[in-house]
Amino acid sequence: MSKQHPDTQCIHGPHKANDPHGALTAPLYQTSTFSFSSAAQGAARFAGEEPGFIYTRLGNPTTQELEQKVAQLESCEAAAATATGMGAVSASVLSFLSQGDHLLASSALYGCTFAFFAHMLPRFGIEVTFVDMSDEQELRTAIKSNTKMLFAETPINPTMTVLDLDLLASIAKQHQLISVIDNTFLTPLLQKPKDHGIDLIVHSATKYLNGHGDVVAGLVCGSQEQINIIKMTVLKDIGATISPHDAWLINRGLKTLAVRLERHCKSAQAVAEFLEQQPLVRRVYYPGLKSHPGNQFIGKQMKAAGGVIAFELAATLQQGETFINRTELCTLAVSLGDAETLIQHPASMTHSPYSAEERAAAGISDGLIRLSVGLEDVNDIINDLKVAFTSIS
């Protein structure tokens, strides 16, 4: 069979399940352990001499299907599924860094990623420097003799800053650094970091990959060698592995990823253009807008701008709270990529692990609001925002 389009791969994956009963949907292997035909077979599997499953923390057919499908979508050799998005972040870092190593991280990141890097890694002797990775000179200057890894998001959560993947990969290779990109906001259908030379790609599968707000999970994609290290060290011994049921739900969600993303992107573009015309909005952060610096990467690095918008109100903190509270269709909740439109205040919610000074350095103001545009009719979303603007005008 000829190479399939990614939209098709989301539905069929690398191969169809070989089910003896002819089930259209791959079965859920909801089991903690697997039996052996003999003691010799069990010993051979533990020794790695015979393929097969042993224990679900070490591997499961349902989980394996998800891993193979997402690895294929990301143009990678393999993937490891984790219990949460932070499980994927921590596994990708702890598997390759040791005491005395140095990590370069983007100055703006998801709040818990920032907290893990800023507050936990130094406890284990891993040095972390946060830099503006859109500034090539600042990035190059921050590299040290003990730097081993570069970690970033693009677009960055929540500022929607777009980073140049070709540049990051080039600098990483020049200095023999492992490059890691969190691709949660765009998914492999809108951006493939591997095609630009990135080593490891991380996802919070909670978001668009699942798309239904009923799972927390993560994935990290890379070479077979890298994924083997992740699975047989951090995931095996620390244990942040995904449950088979959650893997099954994400496999189900992936079947509609392409059509969902098309709607998310189209509606987000319309909402961003509406917000840009509002007198009470100081600035809109969305790469789909010509006014956004990241717009230059659409068609080159990104197929589209995604479904997340950030915007800054020209209002007081109290007015911002009133604005969020007055929305009815937009649900006040953290996360993104769900069918529902979600609205939240990063400074007091997802990015609260940052101090006020750290938020300022990362470009996260107290007036910033993040909107994950859902699958509702876009006119209903805009009308809901109009009511909220009226409440503070």
Q: pLDDT digits over 327-346, tens only? A: 999 999 999 999 999 999 88
The contacts of residue 57 (CB under 8 Å, 6+ apart) are: 235, 236, 239, 241
So what's the pLDDT on residue 245?
A: 98
CB 107 within 8 A of CB 139: no
Active site residues per annotation: 57, 110, 182, 207
**What CA–CA distance (Å, rounded) separates 209 from 188?**
9
Which residues in the chain land under pLDDT 70? Answer: 1-2, 14-18
> Which CATH class name applies to 6-254?
alpha beta
Domain ranges of the chain: 6-254, 258-392
**What CA–CA distance (Å, rounded) separates 211 from 340?**
9
Q: pLDDT digits over 347-384, tens only? A: 777 777 777 787 777 777 778 899 999 999 999 999 99
The whole-model pTM stands at 0.94
So what's the pLDDT on residue 356?
A: 78
**What CA–CA distance (Å, rounded) separates 314 from 310?**
13
So what's the pLDDT on residue 66?
A: 97
**What CA–CA distance (Å, rounded) separates 346 from 22?**
47
CB 372 within 8 A of CB 335: yes
CATH code assigned to 258-392: 3.90.1150.10
Are β-strands 78-82 and 200-204 bridged in parallel, bridged antiparallel, or unpaired? unpaired
Are β-strands 368-372 and 342-344 bridged in parallel, bridged antiparallel, or unpaired? antiparallel
